Amino acid sequence: MAATKKRTNPMLAALTTSALALPGLNVKADSAPEAASVGYRFYVYQEGDAPVDKLSSGSPERYSIYVNQFQLLAPLNESVSINFNYIQESMSGASPVGTEAGDGGESQLIMSAASIKESRRDVSSTVRWYAENGNLGMSVGVSNENDYDATYGGIDVERHFNKKNTSVKLASSVSSDTLSPTGRVDEQSKQFTQSKQSVSMVASITQLVSAQAMLQTGFGTTLLSGYLTDPYKALEGDVRPESKNQYTWSAGARIFFAAQDAAMHIGYRYYTDDWNINSHAVKLSWYQNIKYDIQLIPSLRYYVQTEAEFYDRYFTTARSDGFFSTDYRLSSYGAISAKLKYVQTLKRFSYTATIEWYDSSASYSYRNISFESPGLVNYVMFTTGLNFNF
Amino acid sequence: MKTHSARFKVGLILLLGLLSGCVAVQPWEREYLTKPEMLWTTDSMEATLEEHVYFSKEASSGGSTSAGGGCGCN
């Protein structure tokens, strides 16, 4: 066969080369980030006070939390990266213990004393290997509080198909937790200690649908076992099953609007479990690029859940299965969250500031809820932080 | 049970066939798709904290591919 020499259009060759040089466009292989980066965030989380007119006992001053968060991401070579994460939280304030019947039959809120002071430290690391058509990550972490310890780990693998138009991701994680509530002793007058475990699996698929849009959908399950009762609420009456099977279906879209130089994020998650809780969560974000490397990101999230089958605002007779709880988190309600984020990039630095308002209420549910838990939370969270790319 | 398994396999084959039949977006057409604001997680630090807050205040959680431990959050 005679060798033939193809003529190459220099302009086309230059355009193709420059296109392939764009991040993420390399169809040859996934690869580690080219340079290391560090990030820091400081969060101030403040819950609104409990309603005094519905307070049975305890302090109305709910939680204030300050959080420091650090992250380091570094390439070890072209095909391996590692990241470290550190979170330190300082908490103070009172929290809802449960609800009970008031004189008129209405539910009254039992709060803890305001003297709760706690801290939590969470350290985790992920190593990621990048290959011809995908990547694999392995992570481990520990979370410590004076009354709660968790050790967790996970593995995830992503594979691209169809010239990277389609990606499939599988992830699995486990956690082993130990509870040792302050001031609570067992029958031998030793520290009351319990444990619980969880195993999670998620499978998702991502598909490019046009030059400006992509879709993702996934299924997940988490199986929890062990002591799932809240050890502090148990003192006022709270007994939950020792297993919980959770299932989720999620879907999302990313759409770029070239004329506006903006991206829209849409996300939805349906949740159901064998405690009879169902929920829907919808989130919409708009990433607006503005001059001078500024980005403004308004987001809205709507959440609604049904109550657990063993939840009630108070109990006058025991349930036949022996389970009961007045925890507001297991009640029926809806929640609305609004967030505004500002990002400014200056060469290798980027500065970020975020404010989020979160409000929950029975009236936000699309269902007709007869009795709202007086323990429902609302909060404001401020975030500020820096990222630096080496 | 066999019927369910066969249906699942047929469904999977149809789904993969459908996806492979989607309009292929060529590498040089992905300028917008590769912008940082088009990532599924644009800020992994804030996403971790946000997930933790919702996990501790709401009854439902999950759907994320990242590992994490529980907490004694009240």
Assess contact for A376 and A333: CB atoms under 8 A: yes
pLDDT mean over A47-71:
94
- Is residue B20 scored above 80 in pLDDT? no
pLDDT single digits (tens) A31-55:
889 999 999 999 999 999 999 999 9
pLDDT at B14: 63
pLDDT single digits (tens) A226-248:
999 988 887 777 899 999 999 99
Q: Which of A119, A225, A329 to mutate to test the interface with B (most CBs of B within 10 A)?
A: A329
The interface residues of chain A toward chain B in range 242-301, judged by CB-CB distance below 8 A, are 246, 248, 250, 252, 254, 256, 258, 262-263, 269, 271, 273, 275, 277, 279, 281, 287, 289, 295
Q: Which of A139, A207, A305 sits opposite B59 (nearest CB)?
A: A305
Q: Decide if B74 and A116 are in contact by the 8 Å CB cutoff.
A: yes
Which domains occur in chain A, in start order?
Answer: 125-378 (2.40.170.20)
User: Containing H/E element for B52?
Assistant: helix B44-57
Distance CA B55, CA B41 (A): 18
Mean pLDDT (chain A, rounded): 90
Distance CA A75, CA A73 (A): 7
A217 has which bridge partners? A205, A251
Q: In Å, what is the CA distance from B33 to each residue of A12, A197, A215, A286, B26?
A: 21, 39, 11, 15, 11
pLDDT at B16: 59
User: Containing H/E element for A127?
Assistant: strand A116-131
Q: Reduced to 3 states, what is the DSSP secondary structure of residue A76?
A: strand
